[in-house]
Structure 1
């Protein structure tokens, strides 16, 4: 067999486990998932149940989460039928921002999710969004933003947001804007949820962001429509179309921090991520290349 590569379990950096049947995780090739918007009590229960259900598997499946979307009063997604009860926390003042962040931390959140969708309602002022970021920084929680609408993606790195929950799809960023973002913020891909112009815009933005050395993380928005509770071939195809292939695709799927959880044996460095075989942690060579 060609040179083998041992890697940590694949990570989906954007899931909504309240919106899917988690029993399908038994057959998944994912080792880690980041839930970016659920009722904090319910997602803590789900994460615990997943851990218990798959405890027989060395390393199991690791679920981390943001808890509720933080959004202005009346902001996205407070009016969406798909948003479960408790999955939206409205924030009106800087003082309220600190309280909301503390609530998510107490519920077990490892990141904070903010919504900034000007096409669907009000968005945070710069002052209030910066206040959320400060409160999150004090508790060691990076902020991830759903940025949608003209100019929304561009202002996130300036205000200290660490990652975009979706690669920008509202508008084509200029080359200068892409270059500035590349060194300051990560993009979670979610390319597969789009079609038409939005898909073309997002792929073009990602192609140039990646070319500038930007960090792209694999994420699918699992639960947004009929998405698989597994690796998503539509997302992988879109990432390849954006020029993220081979080792770069593996880096998007398995960030450096993925040192625990399921491990998989790849037949060769540039193998297709679907051509994988799970191996037990105790039999995997941690120094394998």
Structure 2
């Protein structure tokens, strides 16, 4: 938020509608520092600043690659409705600089470099920026590589298991990499591609898949195992063409049917995409059977865990369709009062 807003005294706001896992109707919020607190249903007699539109927790794109975009995009991403983005593969030192707080931009969290086997994906890709790939050949390498990402400020570790594009680790070395990440207190995000790689990530109890699996339709028993251990999947459905898109959507339907949690992710940097919420990804989520509530949960990071700190989401009215969400704007908590004027 801006320095002026940080110094502003607490304020009470009345909004026509708000979403907190469900639509709450007219609601009262109180700002305290960089956090917006839900007070309760609005009372006509409450002394408050009236805000137009509706408020929601901050939206997150859980899979972007900022270095693959030619311009500085964090401010446009905020204007396009995103309060936070998660970069899943880039030069950790470059990302650390981009992640410095900016009151006008979407917040950035990052994984740092892709950790991969020697010669593994994406080490041979022309699009991969310098220092965005860290090859690991031993347990000692794994310890050092995780420490490098942690030192740069990484909040998770990204690993590549792409058997169709080059070597992948043995099960033993995969376990070593994951153990080092957990010892550092970092969750592991896996890119899985190729037959059997999703099964390996699930067996290794990786916390998050960077893409809904798209190489093969997973058996019900494997999906149940993933759900049972709390694994979450990032969607990225719109980047695919058939048959991979159809496979990914089938897996998402089964995963959600078994109780799995899906997170919104666009893989920004992969092909031409809008800066903000991607209507094509929203359409793909609807095709996969998600209704408005499920999409909102995917955007805020799950039910009951929406972010009301630093930045939040504002819309001119309650959406009437999933595509209406593309009209969202990210707003600083400190500057929320500006909506009234």
TM-score (norm 2): 0.77
**Greater share of residues in strand:** 2
1:276 Cα offset (Å):
3.4
217, 220, 226: which one aligns with 1:172: 217
Is the counterpart of residue 154 in structure 1 residue 199 in structure 2? yes
Distance 1:72 1:280, change over 3 A: closer
Taking the aligned partners of 1:276 and 1:26, their CA distance within structure 2 comes to: 9
Contact 1:182–1:213 (Cα < 8 Å) also in 2: yes
Taking the aligned partners of 1:87 and 1:42, their CA distance within structure 2 comes to: 10
Q: Deviations over 1:197-218 (max 9, x none)?
A: 0000000100111111101000
Q: Deviations over 1:223-273 (max 9, x none)?
A: 001122211111111111111121111010001153424212353376531
Distance 1:259 1:138, change over 3 A: farther
Moved more, 25-34 or 92-101: 25-34
Taking the aligned partners of 2:152 and 2:335, their CA distance within structure 1 comes to: 35
> Over aligned residues, Cα RMSD in angstroms?
2.0
How do 1:193-212 and structure 2 match up within 5 A?
193-212=239-258
Structure 2 residue runs of 5 or longer lacking an equivalent are 1-14, 20-54
Q: Deviations over 1:64-85 (max 9, x none)?
A: 0011000000000000000001
Taking the aligned partners of 2:200 and 2:312, their CA distance within structure 1 comes to: 37
1:22 Cα offset (Å):
2.2
260, 263, 268: which one aligns with 1:222: 268
Q: Counterpart of 2:295?
A: 249
Contact 1:32–1:261 (Cα < 8 Å) also in 2: no
Contact 2:310–2:332 (Cα < 8 Å) also in 1: no
Distance 1:197 1:111, change over 3 A: same
Q: Counterpart of 1:16?
A: 65
Distance 1:261 1:192, change over 3 A: farther
Q: Counterpart of 2:166?
A: 121
The 3-state SS of whatever aligns with 1:192 is coil
The 3-state SS of whatever aligns with 1:262 is strand
Moved more, 5-14 or 73-82: 5-14
Distance 1:165 1:277, change over 3 A: closer
Runs of 4+ in 1 over 6 A off after TM superposition: none
88, 92, 110: which one aligns with 1:40: 92
Distance 1:4 1:217, change over 3 A: same
How do 1:258-269 and structure 2 match up within 5 A?
258-266=307-315, 267-268=317-318
Is the counterpart of residue 138 in structure 1 residue 183 in structure 2? yes
The 3-state SS of whatever aligns with 2:307 is coil
The 3-state SS of whatever aligns with 2:63 is strand
Distance 1:280 1:15, change over 3 A: closer
Taking the aligned partners of 2:252 and 2:268, their CA distance within structure 1 comes to: 19
Moved more, 39-48 or 18-27: 18-27
The 3-state SS of whatever aligns with 2:85 is strand
1:32 Cα offset (Å):
0.3
The 3-state SS of whatever aligns with 1:251 is helix
Moved more, 255-264 or 245-254: 255-264
Taking the aligned partners of 1:96 and 1:278, their CA distance within structure 2 comes to: 40
1:278 Cα offset (Å):
5.1
Structure 1 residue runs of 5 or longer lacking an equivalent are none
Taking the aligned partners of 1:245 and 1:270, their CA distance within structure 2 comes to: 11
Contact 1:130–1:160 (Cα < 8 Å) also in 2: no
